[in-house]
Amino acid sequence: MDVSANSLTARRLTRQIAVGSVKVGGDAPISVQSMTTTKTADVEGTLEQIYALAANGADIVRCTCNEQAAAEGLAQIVPRSPVPIVADIHFHVEMALAALEAGVNGLRLNPGNLRKPEEIKLVASEAKDRGVPIRIGVNAGSLHPDIYEKFGGATPEALVESARIELAYFEEVDFHDVKISVKASSVATMIGAYRLASATFDHPLHLGVTEAGPLPGGLLKGTAGIATLLAEGIGDTLRYSLTADPVEEARAGRQLLESLGLRERKGLDLIACPSCGRAEVDVIKIANEAQAALSELNLPIQVAVMGCVVNGPGEARHADLGIAAGKKRGHLFIQGQIVRVVPEDEMVAALVDEAKKIAAEGVEARLRAKDAGAEAEAAADRALLLDDKGLDANHASERIERIRHRAEH
């Protein structure tokens, strides 16, 4: 699959850092992050959540390190984790140093909360000695009061200034393995801040709309901000900040990158028509059933569920596999070619069966195995549907004649 995303703005080239085994920035794939919601001291519970996040698309996972028990938990979690672990530090320099001792693959520091220059430089020096990168995690809700007052609020300029000051402390101790985030809960502010950060720094940028809220609104806000910047070539790693199971964050991040062509598809991509008066079945119901059944297969396949046999196969010819509903029957198609006609109550089962066979045998083999009379049956169904619905429901022929008559006179 071509993942060059030629229709998007060329991605801005940044420095590259390594968060454990995951490269961030440069020409590395844009990575997906999420954060655990468990108590980090609960080692088994936290690992269970980390594995669930990794299974749903997270490349990097962040865990809070707010107390000694959490740091001790990280020492046990890091070697057992399937993905690199970043420790989230807010107020206490001791916790940053303890997390480094625990062997974490990265730190996130909030410059609005950890403010003493000497402490910041100490953490940077310790991280440098261990080859551990740091994210400067600026947040509009926790700006230093002096910066807030200077810029008259949490403006894009204020967020970038906070990151610049923190970066200057790092540079004093010759520490450069840095990525930067300038998050805000306002989508417009977040977009403006990252555009300015992109023009100011050459460090990789971690995208996110902070405190986006619960589904579905949080997902919409996160997508509005993150997708806008990705389309402009800005961003090297991302996190959706949702008031939801963090698995939803990982899943959303992965799906966004796949939909933009920025990561190769690893799971199901189900497309479906929005339904209309031509639909012969409950498209929403069948699409949901197909989504549930096919998701369990975890196949990197694009599947279409279309409510009309007249336009469905043609409109979804780019899909690996699809089905379009006719008169109590479904037209099963592979890359736009009808391969089988099945009863309406077997449509979802037919999709699942064919998806398994495509995975095992390949598309070309399944096209060769199509039913001999499938195309003819499908043509007959389309003709019948057109007859029932009326090919010229708008009386277009009569209208065209009147238009021509008016033009002539």
From 137, 143, 148, select the one nearest 106 (Cα to Cα): 137
How far apart (Å, rounded) are the C-alpha atoms in residues 34 and 253? Answer: 9
Residue 195: HSE in the Cβ half-sphere, 13 Å Cα cutoff: 14
Is residue 249 within 8 Å of 34, Cβ to Cβ? yes
Report the predicted TM-score, pTM, of the whole model to 2 decimal places: 0.85
173 sits in which H/E element: none
216 preceded by a cis bond (ω within 30 of 0): yes
Go through the domains of the chain in sequence order and give each one's CATH number: 16-259 (3.20.20.20), 269-389 (3.30.413.10)
pLDDT at 332: 94
d(CA 83, CA 68): 22
pLDDT confidence of residue 10: 95
Closest by CA to 323, choosing from 345, 347, 344, 299, is: 347
Q: How far apart are CA 133 and CA 20, in angstroms?
A: 9
Amino acid 3: pLDDT? 45
Residue 130: CB atoms within 10 Å: 11
pLDDT of residue 143: 94
One DSSP character per residue, 305-342 reads: EES-TTTHHHHTTTSSEEEEE-SSEEEEEETTEEEEEE
The residues of the chain scoring below 50 in pLDDT are: 1-5, 391-393
Q: What confidence score (pLDDT) does residue 395 get? A: 57
